[in-house]
Amino acid sequence: MSKPAAVIAIDLPAGLLEDLRRSVTPIVTGPDPAAVDAALPRAEGILCSALFPMDGARLALAPNLRVIANFGVGYNNVDLEAATARGIAVCTTPGVLSGAVADLTMALILAIARRLFENAAYARGGGWARREPPPALGWDPAGKTLGIVGFGRIGQAVALRARAFGMEVIYHDLVTAPVEGLEDCRPVPLAELLELADVVSLHVNLDPSTHHLIGAAELARMKPTAWLINTARGPVVDQAALREALASRQIAGAALDVLDPEPPAADEPLLAMENVIVLPHIGSATVETRAAMRDLAVRNLVAVLTGRTPPACVNP
């Protein structure tokens, strides 16, 4: 019996590709959109990055598609309604990357608090050697308030880390039932969180309800000393409003692992602002986490194409 054909639109290590070939025939390997599009008419499955658009136009190229296995936990790249209407399973890689994203968030909080980037630039630029005045003092995370917007797996993993550093954690989420082990984290309305937090960290999915969740009005509620961290998705923040708030020092700064769009234009003003740290979407970028994500994405793809229940499907 012939094996189902699948587009593998990410780079997989040779061993994993060999495992995959036991049940699936890869018809394209690698993320080249033109090659992917050319192969989609024959594909029953696609394994792609969670940033690879699987919009209506692309779905229309794939009449035989049965599964979209995203390499990532987000699925805003997929037209979920259209996929669901056609019975296409949309699968993701939840859980395995929560720790890595939470670690990055905590690293950013500590980097902001201790002014790591300014101090490193001061030393590298010769300021220390020239005995110039050092950057201003940092601050202790202990006793400061962290406001977590979106208290799912990643938000909770951030809370665990922040509490270990003595931060008080408040959060905003649709679900407000106490979370086991995190009972001391307090749910609050978004407006209250923005007013109280010394650091606001975003951990929501991107969907129509969270698009521009943080805009001019929300930024205006934040303390002038507060920082915004976004390791979720760029469009959760109204980027034009954020630029304004940062340029006028309405808020102290922002640390952004995600932007809108990605990659940004070379002249994106945020890249050059002194009170902004921009990272190139590295939330899950560790050897161990990426391996676990690849493994789960492959298991999702193969499960659907061989008639079994996938481990992580968002439209069962």
Of 48 and 65, the one with the shorter C-beta distance to ligand DGY is 48
Task: Kindly identify the residues of this chain, within the stretch 254-293, that bind ligand DGY according to CB under 6 A.
Answer: 283-284
Catalytic residue among 18, 132, 244, 262: 262
51 binds ligand DGY, rule: CB under 6 A: yes
Please say if 262 is a catalytic residue. Answer: yes
Q: Does 211 participate in catalysis according to the annotation?
A: no
Q: Is residue 308 among the annotated active site residues?
A: no
Taking CB under 6 A as the criterion, which residues in 89-148 touch ligand DGY?
97
In the complex, what is the shortest distance from the CB of residue 258 to ligand DGY, in angstroms, rounded to a whole number?
7
**Among the residue ranges 70-78, 183-191, 194-202, 261-269, the one whose residues contact ligand DGY (CB under 6 A):** 70-78
Distance CA 215, CA 95 (A): 29
Report the residue closest to ligand DGY, judged by CB: 72
Query: Which residues pair with residue 45 across a beta bridge?
Result: 6, 67
Q: Which residues 6+ apart lie within 8 Å of 250 measured at CB? A: 219, 220, 222, 224, 244
Q: How many helices (H) and strands (E) does the chain have?
A: 11, 12
Q: Are 68 and 91 in contact (CB under 8 A)?
A: yes
* Site for ligand DGY contains 4 (CB under 6 A): no
Residue 55 backbone dihedrals phi, psi, to 5 degrees: -85, -175
Q: Which of 66, 172, 281, 299 is catalytic?
A: 281
For residue 131, the one-letter residue type is: R
Cα–Cα distance measured from residue 67 to residue 237, given in angstroms and rounded to the nearest whole number? 30
The tokens describing 15, both together, are 């061993």
Residues noted as catalytic: 233, 262, 281
Residues that bind ligand DGY (CB under 6 A): 50-51, 72-74, 97, 283-284
